[in-house]
Amino acid sequence: MRPSLRMRRWIGWLAAVIAAVWTSLAVAAAPVVVLPVTGAIGPASAAYVIRGLQQARDQGAQLVVLQMDTPGGLDASMRQIIQAILASPVPVAGYVAPGGARAASAGTYILYACHVAAMAPATNLGAASPVAIGMGGHAPGPGDSAKPASAPIVSSSNEDTLARKQMHDAAAYIRGLAQLRGRNAEWAERAVREAVSLDAPEAASQHVIDLVAANLPDLLKQVDGRAVRTSAGVVTLHTAEATIVTLEPDWRNHFLGVITDPSLALLLLTVGVYALIFEFSTPGMVVPGILGAVCIVVALYGLQMLPINYAGLALIALGLGCMVAEAFLPTFGALGVGGIVAFVLGAVMLIDTQTPGFGVPLPLIVSMAFVSLAVILLLSSMALRARRRPNVAGGDILIGMTGELLELDPTDPNDPAAGWAQVHGERWRVHCDGPLARGDRVRVTARHGLTLNVVPASF
């Protein structure tokens, strides 16, 4: 019995060793997925990161590296990314790289949410103060003191209350993330309230980040053997020799990034309206109508994903409507000019945020206004020229014209001087006020219904 018991123990130990070796080899073979996040954080960035985390989970990755270089972005998109990171069973390492990159504003929140926070040399993070979103609040300016002390005081108080609410909410949010990851919560709150920033060595010394890595392989070597807690439990990383897989944004992310550019959305909306104007003014062309409808639908899809100001959108719609009416009503520019003013005001107010990368440049607005003004002036000048042009249709234009007498009609007892003549390419019944013969040239002196009075052309 003893040899059998001893053999069983040896077999159990051998099985345990084999299982441990197999598990370590499987973990070591699991890839590391890299998601490059560059530019402003918006709907396209959020969709890309969420899809990338899901793909990393499906591929059995042991770590996802968010390689960031961002000036900030939209609050809603930032929160979507953070929620995906917190719910991810795969550990996520935020890495601000390459040298010269930054994780400002929304990027700082995302870095704090990651299981591992790292920076490359010559990078920085911070400046996480919230900007005006939603209500159009603004910081007091030099001219505010010259305003009347009645209604503007109420408005200023409302704006200050909104700003305080945004500040407290943002500070509490980043403090919660810092406490969750065991990082410097006091500095995180200062980054929100005072908009302070840190470079990589200072961030590491103040325990804002976990480590400084020169490059991606260096990062993987430093996190090798680190145990991190995810939504699925504690995970130990074995990344020193792991395979690196980079997931670049696909065509859907590129398309979403293009159409959620406020400038392009506004341009598509304007082009679509002008294409529909052309289609309605010249029915049957078909292509301008289809192109205009597609542009408008794509523009509206892009705008509905952005924090737009609906008052600005209404002004743009009013301005475009006035421009359309100008093309069909004889207002000689009045509606058009009013529409341009409404369009410019609406374009300035359209995007309800001061986030970098999400705004309509003023030069673009001015350029579109000048193009619209040129179109309005062209239509008005054409209308004025048409109004001053002499009549080219109707019976009155026949007076003074010459024609050829085709034949006399002596069979008419009521008018022995009646006949038929060719005038202005048409056959008319005529009354001759003088001696005429077939083939003579005649000139029209009057018209009575369908009969023309003519005289010899030599008179």
| Tens-place pLDDT, residues 339-395 | 888 888 888 888 766 666 677 888 888 888 888 888 777 767 776 676 666 655 555
Locus of tokens 């369908």: 450
Q: What is the 3-state secondary structure (H, E, C) of 174-205?
A: HHHHHHHHCCCHHHHHHHHHCCCEEEHHHHHH
Task: Give me 230's structure tokens.
Answer: 């995810």
Confidence category of residue 149, pLDDT binned at 50, 70, 90 = very low
Could you check whether 31-134+157-250 and 395-456 share the same CATH topology? Answer: no
Confidence category of residue 199, pLDDT binned at 50, 70, 90 = very high
Confidence category of residue 22, pLDDT binned at 50, 70, 90 = very low
> Which CATH code fits 31-134+157-250?
3.90.226.10
Most confident region among 118-132, 218-232, 300-314, 376-390 by mean pLDDT: 218-232
pLDDT over 60 at 19, yes or no: no
- C-beta atoms surrounding 136 within 10 Å: 14
Phi, then psi, of 428 in degrees rounded to 5? -120, 150
Confidence category of residue 150, pLDDT binned at 50, 70, 90 = very low
Q: In angstroms, rounded to a whole number, what is the distance separating the alpha carbons of residues 44 and 18?
A: 45
pTM strictly above 0.75: no
Q: How many CA atoms lie within 13 A of 98 on its CB side?
A: 2
Given a contact cutoff of 8 angstroms between Cβ atoms, the answer to whether 322 and 149 are in contact is no
Q: In angstroms, rounded to a whole number, what is the distance separating the alpha carbons of residues 189 and 210?
A: 18
The CA radius of gyration of the chain, in Å to the nearest whole number, is: 39
Task: Give me 446's structure tokens.
Answer: 């009057």
Cα angle: 256, vertex 259, 245; to 5 degrees: 25
Across the beta sheet with 124-126, the strand order is 102-104, 124-126, 197-199
pLDDT of residue 410: 67
Interval 52-102: pLDDT, tens: 999 999 999 999 999 999 998 888 899 999 999 999 999 999 999 999 999
Q: In angstroms, rounded to a whole number, what is the distance separating the alpha carbons of residues 285 and 328?
A: 18
Confidence category of residue 304, pLDDT binned at 50, 70, 90 = confident
- Domain boundaries defined on the chain: 1-25, 31-134+157-250, 260-388, 395-456
* 65, 69, 74, 76: CA torsion to nearest 10: 0
Interval 419-431: pLDDT, tens: 888 888 888 888 8
Give the DSSP H/E element, type plus range, for residue 256: helix 251-259
Looking at the domain covering 395-456, what would its CATH class be? mainly beta
**pLDDT mean across residues, the chain:** 81
pLDDT of residue 258: 84
CA 28 to chain centre: 43
